[in-house]
Chains A and B, each alone.
Chain A
Amino acid sequence: MIHQAIGRGLQNIQTQQHLEVRQTAIATELADLLQLLLPVSPKGEIEATSKTMVRKAVALKKSMTEEHALYRVVAVECGGNYSEELMDVDDDMPTGPVFICIYPALVRTAKMRGKSEQIVVSKASVIMQSALEIDMS
């Protein structure tokens, strides 16, 4: 409720114009970054893709800010330990540390028996280092 009240208060004082400017700037930054990684792809397509991604992400973030429950996006560190509760992996028998997190996890903070607990709403997608070694060999 505290998070919701503060979040709504903040969104009330932010102007729509300011949010749109900020959203455009981020989309441009993402497009620039992706252009470095995908030099052959047309700039217009990259920009459109970036814009869609940022728009969807901002809409989701806005909903989370106004929500009663606490949602948090959590990234998994490269080289970190595997956790079945938090991570989703293609391998049947995942071994070794995490190689790369290709998409973060979404967790919800809930109060249970007076303690804060993290409930995983969507698991992070990861690739294990073992898969990389097999592939590289």
Chain B
Amino acid sequence: MSHPESRTQHQQLQSHQRDGLSQTSPDYHPSDSRQDHPDGRKLEDQLGPAIENDLPSQQTAQSAAQFHVNQAQHLGALGVQTQEDASSFGGFLRGLRAAYHTFTDPTQRALAERCVQLGDSLERTQSELSRLSRDHQYKQDLVAKLDDQLHKERVTVAELRRQLGSYQQECEGLRKWANGIHSQNEEFRTQIIDLETGLGPTLGEDYYQSQFEGLKRLIEKDIVRHSKSNSKQVLSDEAQKEILEVLSKLGEDGEKSARFFADGQFALRVLYASNRWRHAMIRHIAGLFLLAQVFDAFAFGVSKELSKSLQLVEQDILSRGTRLRER
């Protein structure tokens, strides 16, 4: 805070102080030599002890107070612009504060009191100003530092964003590539399995439909032809019994049919007498026979026991497979 200009002002102030002592307060005689100290000692040092030392004499005190009033007038004229000035002014105020009650003249006393109040106020304001100035400077430094830091962070964030965009593009590309590879892999797997096992659809549904209905037409044609040639025949009890016995051995469906045609109005012998029902009944029996002996087995030629076991295994695998897929 030691500014050349302020130093000049301080020297001027000291000069005025000295002038003030000599011109406005001729009765004032400081008891020590500090007043003329060559290095320009502060006003506080110059005046404070002088006032305190001279207080025993009321005359001296009034002179000192008058001196301070004069000094205040000088200071007011010059203005207090530096810390050093303010410090000197503080010493002066202390002296005035100690002596203003000694003034007998009410006007001078009021003036001195007012001067003290203004001085106090000024001191507080200067102190607050100094504190706020320091705080302001600290905060300015902090803001500059944070600005710098913010700028650096922004640069970093921009770079990271650029990198993120680049990585996202790369990731998307890799994901597409992986999906393509996955699909291709599945395709290859299926092809490998098909090549190794030869599994897969072999014949279409139309083929099975035409073959199955072809068999139906064959049975119908041959049975009706033979049945017509047997139109005058009567089915004997023994023949009925034997036929029902064979029927009952053709699985569950055969057993039911055997019971159904055993007696009553639907008895074999009764139906056999009518051409229409004879044809139908013989076709029914032929169909049941082929179903039981050929179609019902898991595969043609395997025993009933093995066929049953394989069908159970197949059903079990299918049902478990379904559950797994549902999960």
Chain A residues proximal to chain B, CB less than 8 Å: 1-8, 10-11, 14, 18-19, 22-23, 26, 29-30, 33-34, 36-41, 45-46, 49, 52-54, 56-69, 71-73, 75, 77-79, 99-104, 106, 108, 111, 114-116, 121-122, 125, 127, 132, 135-136
What residues on A are CB-neighbors of B233 within 8 Å? 39-40
B317 touches A2 (CB 8 A): yes
Among B208, B321, B325, which residue has the most Cβ atoms of chain A within 10 A? B208
Give the Cβ gap from A9 to chain B, nearest Cβ, in Å.
9
Whether A2 touches B314, Cβ cut-off 8 Å, given contacts A68-B199, A75-B288, is yes
A115 — which chain B residues lie within 8 A by C-beta? Answer: 322
**Is residue B242 within 8 Å, beta carbon to beta carbon, of the partner chain?**
yes
Partner of A111, one of B253, B295, B301, B322: B322
User: Is the beta-carbon distance between B253 and A10 smaller than 8 angstroms?
Assistant: no
* With contact pairs A30-B286, A53-B215 given, residues A61 and B199 touching in the complex (Cβ less than 8 Å): no
The docked-state distance in angstroms from the alpha carbon of A39 to that of B272 is: 12
Give A83 to B232 CA distance when docked, in angstroms: 35
Residues of B within 8 A of A65 (CB): 298-300
Contact between A78 and B260, CB atoms less than 8 A apart: yes
Query: Apart from A38-B229, A69-B205, what are 14 other A-B pairs with CB-CB below 8 Å?
Result: A5-B199, A6-B313, A10-B299, A29-B293, A34-B286, A38-B282, A62-B299, A75-B291, A101-B284, A103-B220, A104-B287, A114-B322, A121-B205, A136-B265
Give every chain B residue within 8 A of A49 (Cβ-Cβ): 222, 226
Is chain B's interface secondary structure helix, strand, loop, or mixed overall?
Answer: helix
Tell me if B75 counts as interface (CB < 8 A to partner A): no
Given contacts A3-B314, A121-B212, A122-B209, contact A103 B283 (CB under 8 A): yes
Are B203 and A40 in touch, CB under 8 angstroms? no
Q: Which of B15-23, B64-72, B273-281 contacts A (4 or more CB under 8 A)?
A: B273-281
Q: With the chains together, A102 CA to B288 CA distance in Å? A: 9
Across the interface, B294 reaches (CB within 8 A) one of A45, A54, A68, A102, namely: A54
Q: Is the CB of B286 within 8 A of A69?
A: no
Q: In chain B, residues 287-327, which have Cβ atoms closer than 8 Å to a Cβ of chain A?
A: 287-291, 293-302, 310, 313-314, 317-318, 321-322, 325-326
Measured between beta carbons, the chain B residues less than 8 angstroms from A5 are 197, 199
- B residues with a Cβ closer than 8 A to A are 197-203, 205, 207-209, 211-216, 218-220, 222, 226-227, 229-230, 233, 235, 239, 242-243, 246, 253, 256-257, 260-261, 265-266, 272, 274, 276-277, 280-291, 293-302, 310, 313-314, 317-318, 321-322, 325-326
Q: Are A52 and B218 in contact (CB under 8 A)?
A: yes
Instruction: Tell me if A102 and B287 are in contact (CB < 8 A).
Output: yes
Residues of the B chain whose Cβ atoms lie less than 8 Å from the Cβ of A10? 298-299, 302, 310
- Are the C-beta atoms of B211 and A63 separated by less than 8 Å? yes
Question: Using Cβ atoms and an 8 Å threshold, which residues of chain A touch B301?
Answer: 14, 18-19, 22
